[in-house]
A and B are shown apart, each in its own frame.
Chain A
Amino acid sequence: MADVTETQLPGVGVRHEFTTSTGERVGVVSHRTGRREIVVYDRRDPDACSTVMNLAPDDTRTLAELLGASRVNEALTVVQQQVEGLAIEWIRISHDSEMVDQTIGDGALRTRTGAYIVAVVRGDETVPGPGPEFELKESDVVVAVGTVETLAVLARLLGIPHGAASGSGSPA
């Protein structure tokens, strides 16, 4: 990581700056009010800024999220999968579920829960659109679409919601 210099700005806040790997001098002025300024120093007058960007506290959060790129990609996928009132859930079938070694039709899952099973992930293999004759095994991951309530019912029948990438909850 590059060296970051800190400068006190009495009555205003504090300024941090560093040189990027391409030689650009970049600084952040943090106001005590929570406002931030991103400044890029002028290459020919290194004391002056050629670019000054004002950020409200909210903008700062957005920008920080955007710069943490990998986590953002995940968040974006989830957002795309959420339609108004609809949610998608990954549910791993636990060993004590009544659905182990049963077909989807046997369990009458759609009728009983109201949620649709759109795919089943078994190991490295994904089965899209499994029919009623599809037999579920322990540790399968069921991908289901429905309302938050119907998915909760399905999750109780199958086991536990799977992983952090679950898209449960209606879009905020």
Chain B
Amino acid sequence: MTLLAAASTSTATAFIEVGVIVLVLSTLAHVASRFGLTAVPLYLVAGLMFGEGGLASATVSGEFIELTGEIGVLLLLLTLGLEYSASELRTGLRTGIVPGVVDAVLNAAPGFVAGLILGWSVTAALLLGGVTWISSSGVISKVLSDLGRLGYRETSSILSLLVIEDLAMAVYLPLVAALVVGEDAGTTAVTVAVALVAVMIVLWGAGRFGEQLSDRLGRGSNESLLLAVFGLTLVVGGLAERLQVSAAVGAFLVGLAVSGPSRDRAAALMEPLRDLFAAVFFVSFAFQIDPSDLMNAAIPAVLLVIVTAATKIATGWFAAGRAGVGARGRLRAGTTLIARGEFSIVIAAIGVTLADGDELGSLAAAYVLVTALVGPLAAKYADRLPIGRASGTRSVPVT
């Protein structure tokens, strides 16, 4: 009886702690949407406030929040996989491979070099390269639709780049996950090989059997579809983690495998779940960051933002130029791509166990805080930037 009583008081405390945190997040999400921004940077700030060395330290619920956050990562990747149909991935790959490579080289290199300059291990530097490489598809699709730019001609170039980045994650994540756990070169090579083979097999299986799987899933009610997709994500994620492929990749592949009408239904059903769990993930990530570390990371983060904003603009300029878009549109494409967000945090979270993990975490947090705020603003005002002889805003004739 005493055990039960003790458990219930700690449960009560955990409920209150988690509840208060989630309430704060809801306010932040509201504020963010008022200003047309993503809530991710604000969630990070909330995590800093509640976490270690923050204003109000949450204690009892720490473990619960951590597990919930892990599920959040899986759901982020799952919904990403649900975004695209197999044919979109194929056309994305066909048309976007060259800009995709330019994107990877231009934007991962500054992060990697910065990591080495800071004296980190090669693995940590590779992770920082990932942080600066991947643009935030969440922020960017919101910006494009808020600004009414989905019809603009450069938009298809932007979206194709995002597809390539997301596909690249399917290779990059297991690679770095293997590097993080790998002890010597031999075992690491084996793990990486296993990881890549597993990804290939699942991708092939998704293309081959995805239709049947989706058909089977789609027959039931919304309730059964929700539970099936959620369960499948956790099981595949768990199995992938066992193989040291990174659970996130497993979840991404589940998302890719679900296709047809059940994909649209599943996407709609999983979205609210993802919003909840992912919000907790960002908080739990920021929990581990000491606010004073964040201050120390501020200067390198700002320098990194300046360099990688320039490289993203160059990437967008190049990608949109290939599609025959004019200077204005190329600049819009470049500025839109500046925003980094959820996936930079996912990548940094892989490295928490590294010796340089803490520094990586705070630098990534500071970096995302700045780019997620600067990116949408730059995209919004890109048309006001002076370029060449193109004039500024003009009145449109009413016909």
Contacts and interface: CB of A to CB of B under 8 A. Distances in A.
Q: Does A associate with B in a complex?
A: yes
A146 to B, nearest CB: 46
A45 B84 CA distance: 30
A11 B390 CA distance: 32
A8 B326 CA distance: 19
A172 B148 CA distance: 36
Interface of A: 7-12, 15, 24, 27, 29, 32-33, 37, 39, 41-42, 44-52
A49 B151 contact: yes
A15 B151 contact: yes
B92 A10 contact: yes
A52 B150 CA distance: 9
- Ranked nearest first, the 5 interchain pairs of A and B with the lowest CB-CB distance are A47-B329, A39-B151, A47-B153, A52-B148, A11-B83
Contacts of A9: 150, 155-156, 159
Given A11-B137, A29-B151, A47 B325 contact: yes
B56 interface: no
A39 B329 CA distance: 16
B132 interface: no
A159 to B, nearest CB: 47
A166 to B, nearest CB: 38
B360 to A, nearest CB: 29
A113 to B, nearest CB: 50
B153 to A, nearest CB: 4
Contact of B396 (A11, A15, A33, A50): A50
Given A11-B163, A15-B151, 11 more contacts: A9-B155, A10-B83, A10-B88, A11-B84, A32-B264, A33-B264, A37-B150, A45-B326, A46-B153, A47-B152, A47-B154
B61 interface: no
B160 interface: yes
Given A47-B152, A47-B154, A10 B159 contact: yes
B364 interface: no
B162 interface: yes
B289 to A, nearest CB: 31
Interface of B is mostly: helix
B88 A52 contact: no
A8 B396 CA distance: 28
Nearest to B333: A47
Given A11-B137, A11-B163, A49 B148 contact: yes
A10 B163 contact: yes
B328 interface: yes
B141 interface: yes
B163 A29 contact: no
A48 B148 contact: no
A170 B55 CA distance: 68
A25 to B, nearest CB: 10
Nearest to B95: A8
A41 B150 CA distance: 12
B334 to A, nearest CB: 13
A37 B151 CA distance: 8
Contacts of B326: 45-47
Contacts of A50: 396
Given A8-B88, A11-B163, A29-B151, A45 B328 contact: yes
Contacts of A44: 394
A37 B141 CA distance: 15
Contacts of A48: 149, 152-153, 328-329, 332, 383
Nearest to A50: B396
11 contacts: A9-B150, A10-B88, A10-B89, A11-B84, A12-B150, A24-B399, A27-B151, A47-B154, A47-B326, A48-B332, A48-B383
A42 to B, nearest CB: 7
B86 to A, nearest CB: 11
Contacts of A8: 88, 91-92, 156
Nearest to B145: A12
Contacts of B160: 10
Given A27-B151, A29-B151, A45 B159 contact: no
B156 A15 contact: yes
